[in-house]
Amino acid sequence: MTDTFIATAQFEHRSRDKAYNISKIEELTAVAAKHHASVVSFHEMCITGYAFLRRSDEQEMLELAEPVPEGSSTELLIQIASRYQVALLAGLLEKDGTKFYNTYICVNHDGMVAKFRKLHPFINKYLSPGNEYVVFELFGNKCGILICYDNNVIENVRATTLLGAEIIFMPHVTGCTPSAMPGRDYVNPLLWANRFKDPDALRKEFDSRKYREWLLRWLPARAYDNGVYLIFSNPIGMDDDQVKGGGSMILDPFGDTLAECRSLGDEVIVADCTADKVDKASGKRYRNARRPELYRSIIGMAHHSEVKVEWMEEKKDML
């Protein structure tokens, strides 16, 4: 690994408005470049928006989806990456033949560097799951990508690390929704609308178990156990009818937070991700101490696979 300045961002996207969302991506990329970032990461489906897809029919999916890398959004991202001399990571709805994917891509001035399809999509019945991990090189670093729910399945993070990843980009649209975990629930959209008059009330909600307190239960564990940098990206503000809490952050291989978005609006933060921490990380020692002969057959055992999402169950009448 080489020392690299990496940025992650948060912004309030607009559902279905690709032109606006790409303009925000460029705006925040410019800020990141001024702060010497070589890599800039944005959230899941940041080009189209996300939660509205739970009500999208096949026709709307066709209208919004694009081939990758041939589509116009990929080309625009390449232009932005070239203009600011950075590597850029962003999410969109991909169309490949008759199939649709929740896809996240990395581009630079030369074109597309990597493409990853979400392994556990659930927002829309027309989405197909990806079926492979992706590890790629970026400025001398081995990088991986896992989208949102993919990171809640701990085997995905370990597998990506075992394939060589030292940095894992984790784009999300998450939090502020119901769960079986006590304290998890929606944030009232009125708090977002009133954020300038009463920011403390909204911040209290975002910092509770509804969002940040929940994140800090598991994101540091993923980083620490695997000895990798995590680049977490999430939107802030309204995603369709749901409030999202932002809080994009960069965690080091010891599970410490190096930088975090804390504003109640669009923001980008940058951290210096250094090679020495990967070499010294406890997670690296743990990987080397593994005895896979003990559990190879256990981990690979057949089981009934399902994705159960509490807020999707509650909203199933809207699908």
- List the domains of the chain with CATH numbers: 4-318 (3.60.110.10)
- Length of the chain, please? 319
List the structure tokens of 209. 């178990």
Task: Report whether 212 contacts 149 (CB < 8 A).
Answer: no
**In the prediction, which pLDDT does 313 show?**
66
List the structure tokens of 91. 């999410």
Provide the percentage of residues in the chain whose pLDDT is more than 70: 98
**In the prediction, which pLDDT does 79 show?**
98
How confident is the model over 126-156, as pLDDT tens digits? 999 999 999 999 999 999 999 999 999 999 9
| Residue 59: band (very low, low, confident or very high) from pLDDT cuts 50, 70, 90 | very high
| Residue 318: band (very low, low, confident or very high) from pLDDT cuts 50, 70, 90 | very low
Query: Minimal CA–CA distance to 230: which of 292, 175, 177, 283?
Result: 283
Residue showing tokens 């990496």: 6
Alpha carbon separation from 32 to 167, 173, 271 (Å, rounded):
18, 21, 10
How confident is the model over 178-193, as pLDDT tens digits? 999 999 999 999 999 9
